[in-house]
Chains A and B, each alone.
Chain A
């Protein structure tokens, strides 16, 4: 029994989501191999050898640039014979790739695993997190994406895993990246931040979001948003927290000017401490918040900023 973990990385190295996925993999028992696919990513694979894994597999080829699902799935399937589990973090990349892998292997898939009970039995949220299902996979290979916030991050050790270089596998092609528009932020990554401050429609405008950003800088927090705030153009789409956005579980989540629709709660209700700032005392967010301030955010935010 062995697990293949698919790495996700940026220019700086492995992404935090992958470190959480590695911890999930340890709970399955058995060996763990880490697969790094891309172009010019040897340094990432080398950094990966420092973790407590068996092998780091490197597929470095122009065909894997941008980690498109079509060529990457073909490569993963070519390796899958050696593994009982194929696992990735439940990020947009993991969600794009793994179902394609599962279908090519003719196996079902378990998305967004939040707990591993045994090597074939998993718990996952359904209905926007309003119910938790326990499911048993009946297939020979288990293909899983795991919810990063449900597992601790693996810390790099002095491991000296073997680095194996793979030969590229021909994929179906038919797709290429023609443009990228990546949001740049100096603040911590939303899904990995210790503190998250999110704004909703109540922020009123894009300019007012600066109030959250200033407070976030004081707290080294990440800034999130509701779907309503994103649709209104107050914030970028990759800041959305919720069922269809990102799932976060920081130590402190500050919800400002947002009502607390179930689709938003699905993305943040596992936060350790939730603070709600809203002028409507009846807003549902107060049902899940630990601390609430019924007040005008335009008065409270500058006050908080001056006190911190």
Chain B
């Protein structure tokens, strides 16, 4: 079974982002970029399935500018076998990304697609579900546990009330939650090795997918700031008194 795993190049999660002065978008000039943390978990999960002899090949895929090559190299350093970059400048929306993945999954004959549960830039949490819909495959979202047995995969899902385990017929789409695994640290030898692994760049147009955005971004603002700095109280008694005065406690 071939596993296709999606990775997105996003602003590093430690960066405090700013809206552009004209309010048109988020400032992305000279900002540190990194692999989306959920995607790193997805790559690790796919590589572990290969190491366990349950997958034959792990193919990392990204859609974005030429610089997304760095992100794919990170996935290769974790242990993906090869990578495909679908070159596209400009906005990518979950629906168009899902359509691109569908084209690639069909082309490669993938038996599973692993994605992160959401990207930390647009916070959409849609792509995996959309891809499953387009493929007509079952979906295992917010996965924190995976067990492959033959033509089935059991997925433990993190849901609002606790955990739910679903059995899905393969092929299927899985989206990784943070607790699925702890991605390995890419060692220097594995980073060097990753530089020699195949990375194909293809043009989005060659897949015949329409990437026109369905949403128009009208503007971006920073959220209203809270009154900065707390009133530091001396002790618990003072806190209880304050909360009673503010009528929060009755």
Q: A residues within 8 Å of B by Cβ?
A: 10, 66, 68-70, 73, 91-93, 95-104, 106-112, 121, 125-139, 172-183, 195, 219, 227, 230-231, 236-238, 243-244, 246, 251-252, 262-263, 269, 272-276, 281, 286-295, 300, 303-304, 307-308
Assembly CA distance A125 to B139 (angstroms): 25
Whether, in the assembled complex, B144 has its beta carbon less than 8 Å from a beta carbon of chain A, the answer is yes
B202 within 8 A of A: no
- Least CB separation from A176: chain B residue: B167
Q: How far is the CB of A216 from chain B (nearest CB, A)?
A: 13
In the assembled complex, which residues on chain A have CB atoms less than 8 Å from the CB atom of B237? 303, 307
Chain A residues whose CB sits within 8 angstroms of the CB of B188 once the complex forms: none
Main secondary structure of the interface of A (DSSP, over half): mixed
Q: List chain B residues, Cβ under 8 A from A173.
A: 138, 169
Whether B230 pairs with A290 at a CB distance below 8 angstroms is yes
In the assembled complex, the Cα of A176 lies from the Cα of B82 at a distance in Å of 33
Is B73 engaged at the interface, CB distance under 8 Å to the other chain? no
Q: Check B243–A273 contact: CB distance below 8 A.
A: yes
| Nearest CB in chain A: distance from B47 CB, A | 21
Q: Which residue of A lies closest to B159 (CB)?
A: A92
Q: Is the CB of B133 within 8 A of A108?
A: no
Instruction: Establish whether residues A178 and B165, one from each chain, have CB atoms under 8 Å apart when the complex forms.
Output: yes
> Is there an interface contact between A135 and B166, defined as CB atoms closer than 8 Å?
no
User: Could you say which residues of chain A place their CB within 8 Å of the CB of B21?
Assistant: none
Interface centre among A108, A172, A238, A276 (most CB of B within 10 A): A108
Q: Pick the contact of A132 from B127, B223, B231 — CB < 8 Å?
A: B223
Query: Is A175 touching B160 in the complex (CB atoms < 8 A)?
Result: no
Residues of A within 8 Å of B163, CB to CB, are: 179-182, 237
The residues of A that contact B39 with a CB separation of less than 8 Å are none
In the bound assembly, the distance between CA atoms of A127 and B14 in angstroms comes to 11
Contact in complex: A286, B229 (CB < 8 Å):
yes
Note all chain A residues with C-beta closer than 8 A to B242: 291
The residue in chain B whose Cβ has the minimal distance to the Cβ of A244 is B178
Contacts of B226 in A (CB 8 A): 269, 274, 288, 290
Residues from 228 to 248 in B contacting A, C-beta threshold 8 Å: 228-233, 235-237, 239-240, 242-243, 246, 248
Candidates A103, A134, A136, A183; contact of B134 at CB < 8 Å:
A103
Given contacts A127-B121, A231-B179, contact A103 B98 (CB under 8 A): yes
Chain-A contact segment, one of B1-9, B53-61, B63-71, B209-217: B209-217
CA of A104 to CA of B131, assembled, Å? 10
Q: Are A177 and B165 in contact (CB under 8 A)?
A: yes
Interface string of B194-219 (1 = CB under 8 A from A): 00000000000000000001111111
Closest to B117 in A: A244
Whether B166 and A110, one on each chain, are in contact in the complex, defined by CB atoms closer than 8 angstroms, is: no
A-B contact pairs, 27 of them (CB 8 A): A68-B166, A73-B133, A92-B142, A97-B129, A100-B130, A102-B95, A108-B214, A108-B215, A109-B126, A125-B123, A127-B26, A131-B17, A131-B223, A173-B138, A175-B138, A175-B139, A179-B165, A181-B163, A182-B163, A183-B162, A227-B178, A269-B226, A273-B246, A291-B232, A303-B236, A303-B237, A304-B236
Contact status B144-A126, CB under 8 Å: no
Partner of A287, one of B126, B144, B159, B229: B229
Are A275 and B165 closer than 8 Å at their CB atoms? Answer: no
Q: Are A244 and B240 in contact (CB under 8 A)?
A: no
Starting from the known contacts A103-B129, A178-B167, A293-B232, 4 additional A-B residue pairs (CB-CB under 8 Å) come to A69-B132, A127-B121, A180-B164, A243-B123
A135 touches B215 (CB 8 A): yes
A179-B164, A182-B162 known; A128-B123 Cβ under 8 A:
yes
Q: Which one of A95, A174, A290, A291 contacts B138 once the chains associate, using CB atoms below 8 Å?
A: A174
Enumerate chain B residues within 8 angstroms of A272, measured Cβ to Cβ: 248
Shortest beta-carbon distance, B25 to chain A, in Å? 9
Contact A236 B162 (CB under 8 A): yes
Bound Cα distance from A274 to B239, whole angstroms: 12
Q: Contact check, B222 vs A292: say whether CB atoms are below 8 A apart.
A: no
Nearest B residue to A107 by beta-carbon distance? B214
Q: Is the CB–CB distance between B129 and A96 below 8 Å?
A: yes
Q: Is the CB of A126 within 8 A of B123?
A: yes
A275-B231 Cα distance, complex, nearest whole Å: 10
Q: How far is the CB of A221 from chain B (nearest CB, A)?
A: 10
Select which of B17, B132, B240 is within 8 A of A308 by beta carbon.
Answer: B240
In the complex, B154 has a CB within 8 A of chain A: yes
User: How far does the alpha carbon of A175 sit from the alpha carbon of B140 in the complex, in Å?
Assistant: 9
Interface contact B162-A180, CB-CB below 8 Å: yes
- Whether the pair A126, B26 counts as a contact (CB closer than 8 A) is yes
B53 vs chain A, min Cβ distance (A): 23
Contact B123 A181 (CB under 8 A): no
A98 to B129, CA, bound (A): 8
